[in-house]
Amino acid sequence: MPTRIGFDVGGTFTDYVLVDDETGALDVFKYPTDPEDPADGVLEGLDRFLDRTGADLSSVRQLIHATTLATNTVLERDGADTALVTTEGFRDVAILGRQKRYDLYDLFIEKPDPIVDREHVYEVDERIHPREGVVSALDDAEVRDLARRLDAEYESVAISFLHSYEDDRHEVRAEEVIAEEAPDLHTTRASNVSKQYREYERTNTAAVDAYVKPRVEHYLGKIETDLDDRGYDGSFFMMKSSGGVASPGMITESPVQIIESGPVAGALNAASLGSAVGFDDVFSFDMGGTTAKICFVVDGQPKRTDVFEVAEAEMKEGSGLPVNLTVIDMIEISAGGGSIADADETGRIEVGPRSAGADPGPICYDRGGTAPTVTDADLALGYLNPDYFLGGRMEIDAEAARAGIEREVGGPLDMDVDTAAWGIKQVVDNAMTRASRIHASERGLDPRKFGMIAYGGAGPVHGAFIARELNVPRVFVPPGAGVASAGGLLVADVEFHLDQTLITELDADAMAEVSRIYDELEEEGRRLVEAAGGDAVEIEREADMKYAGQAHEIPVAMPGGDLGGDDVETIEARFHDTYEETYGYSDPDEAVEGITWKVTARSPTESLSLEEIEGGSARASDARKGTREAYFESAGGFVETPYYDRDSLGAGASLQGPAVIEEVNSTTVVPPGDALSVDEYGNLVIDVGGGDGDA
């Protein structure tokens, strides 16, 4: 039986999803991540999964992989020894950054440290004008001398010359010379990772790419070699930050593409699920072991952006490291099951950003962890079943969790264990609620008009509580919620985003040049899709445009075909309409400028159809496993709470909170005052604040 497998490496667990191509049936699996050697852990987990399902690697026709490796490399600053080569006089571009302060009233603001310190930035005498060509020619001898110095000190080098988005001949030649003199050095050209203007962002993108390149290349090379040794002859794809997939070879050429590889798959799955259940406007809430990720889906599509920052501080724009990259627009915060809680010096509970990860993990894992985590608090509050963690495959110690919470939080703050555990939960819930509000308001969105898709190992535990704070009316918990992000890998298209900056007012001459740019981008897009194994290629055009004199632009959908003077009026009208929708007003008398011209080339993958569930009981009481005490502040503390086997809940089953629904890879908590029902596809649907049910 031909199958496809998606696997997503998280900070604590690696998630696997298998789909049978003939029946559409899904199987899921969770395996602890190996922080010392993630590649070995991935392959070992794949072996365990195949053994458990009875499948054989020869029957797998496609593997799709997502990883947080690149992101973690930047966050933890443990990437390659990297140098930056730039135009003489522009050594400090990455240090100066932008004048805009991310916190206007903080006199002690700290800007993000550049990925390459100043002492590792080297200048060469070259200069190209964006319109007039070469001003100062590149000297091969100077570059050769520099290459020999770099080869002795560094693993990787980024090359970012002024205006290479317009004319990259000097960058191309410098890379050739360095390769001749130092063939073992990894190199990244800024013009290869970004064709957009703005030197700070483009230079930083190149530096990040060079910084993670050796580690990503080693990681993917190890996986590919092992798969080859096993005789695997199917296709192997990597998830990109844009939500599309590409071959590992394309990723190692430019690994900055996977800087958000792990989180975006869940957003794709949420979009697919939301549309299937009649909610085109949803937001995904993915809470795993290390982080929580939030993404808004509008009209069935995850929002995308070209403005992305790595290691953003306190969710404030300008506080992170910018990369010019098309990404699914989401916010990620350090709030996961493994987030560590302690008492700070002011007498408050603090949660994160430190995480216990997979090793040693939370105290209750009994692997040497001594710091209490959110998972320990959820266990102490009665939400998690110590006898049914990962379906009973993993023993966890509730008493050790309570002792750790008392030692590190309750005792120092003079509160009992139950209050301390609830405090930990409240702190992390408040952080995720605040992040959701900020993310929505910055995009002009109202969470009250959205449904929530809650998934990840901890997402369904906390989802309904957060939904109530946001006044979100309905929460969906899909089957296999604990590994839903990996399921999103199976609905990802082969997709490439290409762009080219050309700053121009709109007239007939400009349209001729824009048409030429679009033709080149579309040709390259088709080539990339076909090289990655895609079939039918779909093309979409877009442009970043603004009123003349403005500093920032907005994306506008563009018409296809050859463009000429007759199209100017149509394009300007589209810009004015888009501007009106975005800001509530427009000025048709103002001149309009086009800035960056963009193409998306994709080959759609086969969709996953939702299967109506069979079996189970329409009476929730038939799925009831027992009762245990669980803590709900609104109910006055611990109350006797029924818990249910999710697999035994059939379509039409309903119940009223408080309740706990257990499955192998996740747990869903229904607070008092909320009602839960099961739809025909097996989704748990929580109506926040409403209804009675059959308990």
Q: C-alpha dihedral over 39, 45, 47, 49, to 10 degrees? A: -150
Look up residue 104 and give its two tokens.
């206007």
**CB-CB contact of 187 with 252 (8 Å):** no
**127-129 and 121-124 beta bridge pairing:** unpaired
282 Cβ contact list (under 8 Å, min separation 6) = 270, 271, 273, 274, 296, 297, 450, 451, 452, 453, 476
| Helix (H), strand (E), coil (C) string for 306-328 | EEEEECCCCCCCCCCEEEEEEEE
Strand 282-287 vs strand 451-455: parallel, antiparallel, or unpaired?
A: parallel
Looking at residue 1, what is its pLDDT? 58
Pair of tokens at residue 675: 């009602």
What's the distance, CA 525 to chain centroid? 23
Instruction: Count the neighbouring beta carbons within 10 Å of the beta carbon of residue 432.
Output: 24
- Domains of the chain, first to last: 75-216 (3.40.1360), 493-603 (3.30.1490), 620-687 (no CATH)
How far is residue 660's CA from residue 642's CA, in Å, rounded to a whole number? 7
C-alpha–C-alpha distance, residues 355 and 370, integer Å:
12
Whole-angstrom distance, CA of residue 159 vs CA of residue 185:
12
**79 in Cβ contact with 85 (< 8 Å):** no
- Candidates 485, 460, 468, 395; CA nearest to 662 is 460
Rounded-to-integer distance, Cα 588 and Cα 578, Å? 12
- Count CB-CB contacts under 10 A for residue 393: 9
pLDDT score recorded for residue 695: 43
Closest C-alpha among 208, 209, 439 to residue 333: 439
Q: Which of 268, 218, 217 is nearest to 240 (CA)?
A: 268
Closest-CA residue to 593 (of 543, 657, 652, 525): 543
**605, 493 Cβ separation under 8 angstroms:** yes
Listed in order, strand segments (DSSP E) in 530-666 are 538-547, 554-557, 592-603, 624-632, 637-645, 654-656, 659-662
| Class of residue 670 by CB neighbours under 10 A (exposed 0-12, middle 13-18, buried 19+) | buried
**pLDDT at residue 607, as a whole number:** 66
* pLDDT tens-place string over residues 516-531: 999 999 999 999 998 8
Exposure on the CB side of residue 631, measured as CA atoms within 13 A: 20
Q: Which residues pair with 18 in a beta bridge?
A: 5, 27
Which candidate, 664, 669, 665, places its Cα nearest to that of 684? 669
Contact 227, 347 (CB under 8 A): no
Which pLDDT tens digit goes with each residue over 27-65? Answer: 888 888 887 788 888 899 999 998 888 888 888 888 999
Pull the structure tokens for residue 369: 């962890």
Residues of the chain with pLDDT under 70: 1-2, 313-315, 607-609, 691-695
**Peptide bond preceding 658: is omega within 30 degrees of 0, i.e. cis?**
yes
The whole-number pLDDT of residue 268 equals 87
**What is the pLDDT, as a whole number, of residue 3?**
85
Radius of gyration of the chain, Cα coordinates, nearest whole angstrom: 26
Cβ contacts of 218 within 8 Å, gap of 6 or more: none
DSSP 3-state assignment of 427? Answer: helix
* Token couple for 597: 């011209």
Q: Please give the Cα distance from 67 to 556 (Å, whole number).
A: 31
pLDDT of residue 33: 82
Amino acid of residue 233:
D
How far apart CA 304 and CA 99 sit, in angstroms, is 25
The answer to whether residues 666 and 647 touch, using CB atoms and an 8 Å cutoff, is no
On whether the CB atoms of residues 631 and 382 are closer than 8 A, the answer is yes
Spatial CB neighbours of 448, under 8 Å, sequence gap ≥ 6: 470, 471, 472, 473
For residue 92, the model assigns a pLDDT of: 93
